Every structure is written in structure tokens, then in C-alpha cells.
Amino acid sequence: MKTHFDRMSNQLPRIVSGWAAVGPAILLASAFSVVSPHDVRGADNPEFYKVQIVRPMKVGDRVHMRREIEQTTTESTEGNGTPQGAQSATTQINFYGTLEVLAIDGHGEPTKWKVSGGVVSVRRAGSSGRESLLKSGTDFTVAWAGGKATVADSDARHPLSDDARRFLPIVFEATGAKGDSSLGDILDNISASKGTSWSVNSKAVATGLHNFDPKLKAADVSGSARIKAIVGDGDKKTLLVEYEFTATSKKPSNSPDGMTPVGASRTESGTLTVPANLSTGYFSAKATIHTSSRFTKNASEKMLTKAGTKTVTKNVKLETVIDEYDKVNTLLTYETVGGAEQKDSSAPSTSKPAAPASAGASNGSSSSAEPPN
């Protein structure tokens, strides 16, 4: 039987993050901003902060991105309830580079980037060392269409290698069907106070996870987000936002050859550090994604009799479970055309607070925002 790892030798499975599909894959095209709280005080009137994910950009704006991806896949098989072994493999991709906006849509979200690679490397499953995918300073383009990232050469005289074409799309597809702005749809640009939680946009999650199950419905998704802590004052204020959601499927995609899907679950959890003032120029995100899928197959095996004089055919029900753990860490710094940064509005927010999914959630402890290295 052709295993999941046989297929991995030809193409690393796509990481489908819920920012994702941020899966810490967060906003390449955007920066988080927080509108000032409602001008309301008192124990019965908590301050509400608007968690605004997508920041409209202009052609020429640039984003410096550092992203680390680690994917561990384990495949285990049982025959009639008897374990037949397990295989595990881990692949790591590190990316550091600068992205310049070449084209935007009507909402100011980038649809095409010029990318200048800095340090870009991969550590393949089974390898003890890292391989460089790009020579530092190599330029290429990334375009978004239909939830896919297409990588192309910028200079025909310096074409990308086959390995670069294979692994680079994973760096950008880690961020979902709409790129990094997918998380904006999932968290729905909500207004909330510290400690209260709100439901994620299940419809947006289902749309973003088409690679997990193209027929996934909003009813198959549940999850919530909250402002865990508010750190600092004034221009240095940041929000620590936590989110988690789970999707379940009876017919996940990407079944092993000849096997029938039984069911699957995909859980994503993440923590975002969101600057309150865009002039701070950075934010960071971490996400962990666990996908577990089960498949079955009826097969037959030829076995020798105890006497060893003839063979008999035995029917076997094979069950395979594929567990995939993805960890994505992202750090972004950005600059606008001319180097002038957009300032956060000092006016009180007029956005209506979201109805919390659950009140009285425990408050997280404060911690300092993590600056760029």
C-alpha cells in the first residue's frame, strides 16, 4: 500500500491554517490596529477595544516577514485491531524576507507581492541539516487566486529551483484561502472588553478550510476568541488576543490511495500580539494546528498455514490514522510608501460592542510585548 510518506516524498502536504488556513500565519498584507476604547468608565461599563485585523495597503507598501513552520506527521495502521506499525516525519521551513505590494483589490488587500528573499531554508524529514532554498537577495513574485499562492520568477536569468517552487508556496499558503487576511474574517473585526469571549465566524472558517474538506459547513465549526490581556499605556499599548476553533468532517480530503475516509477533526489555537498604535510597526503571532484523520480499507492477505505446506487467504480490515501537528510562528514589521506610518485614531470607538459568547472568562496575566529581533 502506498503510504502517506511515499506521497510526502513527491509533495509536502499543504499546511491549512485557520488564519488559514493563520493558521501563525498572520497578516502578510495587514497589521492589527486597535481603535481607542469607548469613553465609558465604571465597574458596570468596561472598556471595549476593537480588534481590527485587516489594514488596507497601497502599491509600494512593504512588509518584512519572519516565519517558522514545523510540520510533524505520524501515520499508524491497524489490521483487524492489531497494530501494524507507525511512521513519523518532521519537516521545518524558515523564511525571512521583504514583501512589496504590487497589486491590491478593491478593499486594499494585496493580491500580488514582489518578494526579496533573505534567509530561506528547509530541513526535510529524515535529514539532520538545513538546505538553503534561495540565494540571499533573490526576487520572485507571489500572486493570490482562488485560495492558492502562485510563485513565479522575477528574472528569467535567475530562475527559482524546483525545491524553491515546491516549498515557497507553503510559506504563504499557511495563511489561508485569502492569505493572511483570512484571520480577519474569522475574528470578524469584533469589539470586546478584556476577559470576555466571542464566537469566531464559523462560515469564514469553513470557507478557509476547503483543503481540509471542500464541503465543510459552518455547523461543523465551533470556536471562540478573547482579549487575554492589555499591556502598556498610550502608544505602547498592545492587546494579547487568544483564539481557538475546531472543525469536524466525515469525509476529509486527501485520502491515502484506495482508502475510504471515516472522519477527521482539525483544531487550531493561537495567540496574537497586537500593537494599539500602527506606528510601532510590528506584531507577532503563534499558532498550533492538529489534524487527525481516519481511513479504512478492506484487503486480503495470504498467510502460510501452521504446517507451512499451503497458503490461505485472510480478509483484513485496515484502519489508518494520520495525525499532523503544525506550528507556525510569525513576526511582521511593516512600512508604508515614503516611510510614514499611519497613526491610530485617538477618538473613542463608535463600534457597537459584540455580544460575548460567554461572560466572566478568566483574565490572563499581563506580559510584555515581544519586539522584533
**202-235 pLDDT per residue, tens:** 999 998 888 899 999 999 999 999 999 988 777 7
CA distance 47 to 101: 35
In this prediction the pTM is 0.76
Q: Position of cell 501537528?
A: 325
Q: Is residue 255 part of a domain?
A: yes
Q: Is residue 356 part of a domain?
A: no
pLDDT of the residue at 16? 38
Number of domains observed in the structure of the chain: 1
Residues of the domain holding 81:
4-38+46-337
Partnered with residue 331 across adjacent β-strands are 66, 284
Q: Is residue 109 part of a domain?
A: yes
Can you tell me whether residue 95 is helix, strand or coil?
A: strand
Name the pairing type of β-strands 110-123 and 82-104: antiparallel
Q: Which residues of 336-354 are buried (b: 16+ CB within 10 A; e: fewer)?
A: beeeeeeebeeeebeeebb
Q: Report, in angstroms and rounded to the nearest whole number, the Rg of the chain calculated over CA atoms.
A: 23
Q: Is residue 362 part of a domain?
A: no
pLDDT of the residue at 320? 94
pLDDT of the residue at 351? 41
pLDDT, tens digit, for every residue of 62-94?
A: 989 999 999 999 999 998 888 888 999 999 999
Q: Which residues of 99-128 are buried (b: 16+ CB within 10 A; e: fewer)?
A: bbbbebeeebbbbbbbbbbbebbbbbbeee
pLDDT of the residue at 191? 78
Q: Is residue 358 part of a domain?
A: no
Neighbours of 258 (CB within 10 A): 12
Mean per-residue pLDDT pooled into runs of 10, the chain (373 residues):
46 41 36 38 60 77 92 92 89 95 87 92 90 92 83 88 92 71 76 87 90 93 93 78 95 88 95 68 83 91 69 84 94 69 37 40 36 38
Neighbours of 257 (CB within 10 A): 11
